[in-house]
A = this chain, B = another copy of it.
Amino acid sequence: MSGYKTARAVKVRGLCMGGGFPVTVQTMWKDRLDSASPEVVSRIEGLKSLGCDILRFAVPDEAAAETLGALAGMTDMPLVADIHFDHRLAMRCMDFPIAKIRINPGNIGARWKVEEVVSKARDKGIPLRIGVNAGSLPAGLRDDADLARALLQAASDEIGILEDLGFSDILVSMKASDPAVTVRANRAFAERFDYPLHLGVTEAGPLIAGVARSAIAMADLIRDGIGATIRVSLSDTMENEVIAAREILGAIGQRREGITLVSCPRCGRHSFDTHAFTARWQSRLYSMGKTATIAVMGCAVNGPGEASHADLGITGAGDWVVLFRHGEIIRKVKPEDADTVFEEELAKL
């Protein structure tokens, strides 16, 4: 841990990033935002209940800026505008209660444009996130044989532009699709800068690949004290990105709240389909706002014993389904009543 700076705190609407505050979780809206509808607000509420702290939207044009602005007034979820090239979109977004702008000053052209953005961000108290990606490095850095060094240099150049204007309300990300490169770049950054880091592995792939690559890189960094906020990029739903982020934080002991779900993989001994049960209950368990360990086990031989640490467990026992609490069997029911009884016991937790 030695050698890494502690990140300064940067305020992102009501949230503190860095400064020793808990690592926050974010995801990014996956489709064009056509309207700030009640359906959008309701999906955002769902993301929040799963553990999403902050939500980013691509703003490719003026219409998207208007819609995002309207949406920002309809939810208390901190919303981030992701902008490439066109500084007018950033200017427009800052007319609304936007929590953060992701923009690379090196990409928006003439110095006066950067000055305009920085000046408005300062007035409004809106932080800027510099986002450097391995695949879109500036021309001069693209051929560096050391990709981690190039990412750090690109971030450092972008930071320099903002610091020259006296602006330091900055967050930074450096993402590569190779977890090892991502880790090296972020470690090198934390040796030199104290801006809070947004961690992510870029183009991490579909669900399994993306979770594996992100978990390994983020665990390495967060356990070193590096990283203020994380986004697990998946070619999958936002909800799964949030679940993945919380599971990664949980696996390294950084998240104490919420449901810890343990469940057995099923084998030839099973009399209870743990796959179907976890699939059916996962979202609801993760959204229920309780802190407990829930076990879903395949057979009575192993179930209550192997999961005796669980606050509530369910398993098969021949033709019956058994519920247990801290290893003690509390109810024995017919399979068709399992979900109802499980729900009752869940409510008692």
Contact = CB atoms under 8 A, between A and B. Distances in A.
B31 A212 contact: no
A165 to B, nearest CB: 27
Please indicate which of the listed interface residues A207, A236, A253 has the most CB atoms of chain B within 10 Å of its own CB.
Answer: A207
Contacts of A206: 261, 263, 275, 278-279, 282
Nearest to A268: B58
Please indicate which of the listed interface residues A179, A243, A262, A302 has the most CB atoms of chain B within 10 Å of its own CB.
Answer: A262
B279 A203 contact: no
Interface of A: 28-33, 57-60, 64, 82, 84, 133-136, 177, 179-180, 202-213, 215-217, 219-220, 233-237, 240-241, 243-244, 247-248, 250-253, 261-270, 274-275, 278-279, 282, 295-297, 301-302, 305-308
A219 B214 CA distance: 12
A133 B306 contact: yes
Please indicate which of the listed interface residues A263, A268, A279 has the most CB atoms of chain B within 10 Å of its own CB.
Answer: A268
Contacts of A177: 262
Closest 10 CB pairs of A and B: A135-B306, A58-B268, A212-B247, A233-B265, A215-B215, A206-B278, A58-B267, A235-B263, A203-B262, A211-B211
Given A135-B305, A235-B278, 9 more contacts: A30-B268, A82-B267, A135-B302, A177-B262, A179-B252, A203-B263, A209-B251, A209-B261, A241-B265
A138 to B, nearest CB: 12
A266 B302 contact: no
B29 A248 contact: no
A216 B202 CA distance: 18
B203 A306 contact: yes
Given A135-B305, A212-B247, A253-B180, A29 B267 contact: yes
Contacts of A57: 267-268
Contacts of A261: 205-206, 209
Contact of A205 (B213, B215, B263): B263
Contact of A28 (B243, B247, B265, B308): B265
A237 B278 CA distance: 13
B211 A265 contact: no
B30 A267 contact: yes
28 contacts: A29-B268, A30-B267, A31-B266, A31-B268, A32-B268, A32-B269, A57-B267, A57-B268, A60-B268, A60-B269, A84-B301, A135-B305, A136-B305, A202-B264, A202-B306, A203-B265, A203-B297, A205-B261, A205-B263, A206-B279, A206-B282, A208-B211, A209-B247, A209-B250, A212-B244, A215-B219, A217-B251, A236-B265
A47 to B, nearest CB: 14
Nearest to A245: B212
A98 to B, nearest CB: 15
Contacts of A278: 205-206, 235
A93 to B, nearest CB: 13
B216 A275 contact: no
Given A211-B212, A235-B263, A297-B203, A64 B251 contact: no
